Amino acid sequence: MDLYFKFVFFLLGLTIGSFLNVVIYRIPEGESIAQPPSHCPSCGTRLKPLDLVPIFSWLFLKGRCRHCSTNISPRYALVELLTGIVFLFTYIKFGLDWYIIVAFGFMAVLIAMTFIDMDHQIIPDELNIFLIVFFVATNLFISYIPWKDAIFGALIGFAPLFLIVLLTGGSGMGMGDVKLMFALGLYLGFWNSILTVFLSFIYGGVFGVLLLVTKIKGRKDAIPFGPWIALGAVTAFYFGAGIIGWYMGMLV
């Protein structure tokens, strides 16, 4: 049965990943994620079910549109595969527990947000609002984190980033990052929110230097901070208790 559920949740992740591709493409363009149905962005032809099988359609069609032969970015398949792997790992980490519903929603939004921020240097309000509404709905039903801890987590995540925006006039960080950290803090709680902020600056600093050294980015190029917040949040969400426990043990 364990193998069966691993397979099911991996397939679920692939399917959700396919939907996330729609979110990533349409929300920054101000388009509905429901209408019109999936279509080729080049020729506009409506895609059939065989064109929409996660990963396999891209492989079978050799990365091209069936109708106009326009190249389809391999990132579509990458997002699907990444989401499948994340969902599989989430099941392995938490097992068959109601909490995995929270984890699936949390991770799906982070994946969509990361790619949107990389493409457009924005974090859409729609994603932050969804995170907040989803948190309230699931915590009312499952009660996986005390409300007090959630509120403190949101505030401690929000405050330092908001202070940076005030001090830099928004040149070093945008309000989208601040809103995102507020929403994530609800899920993470007080200590994991602190860890997330700390890790996001570490990740951002290390990878920022690598991007500059490899000349992928120039000194004047904008480097989005959202992906590093997301990576810090993922680390804290899955491994925060162990990391914080290890750190506290070092202090004793």
The reply to whether 127 and 252 lie within a common domain is yes
Answer whether residue 102 is part of any domain: no
Q: Are residues 133 and 58 in the same domain?
A: no
Is 67 inside any structural domain? yes
DSSP string, 96-149: S-THHHHHHHHHHHHHHHHHHHHHHS---HHHHHHHHHHHHHHHHHH--S-HHH
Claim to verify: residue 163 and residue 220 sit in the same structural domain? yes
- What domain range includes position 26? 1-96
Same domain, 9 and 92: yes
Q: Do residues 65 and 153 share a domain?
A: no
pLDDT at 172: 67
Does residue 206 lie within any of the structural domains?
yes
pLDDT in tens, 34-70: 777 777 677 767 777 777 788 888 888 777 877 777 7
Tell whether 129 and 252 lie within a shared domain. yes
> Domain check: are 141 and 67 in the same one?
no
Instruction: Pick the more confident residue, 48 or 95.
Output: 95
pTM for this prediction? 0.92
Domain count, the chain: 2
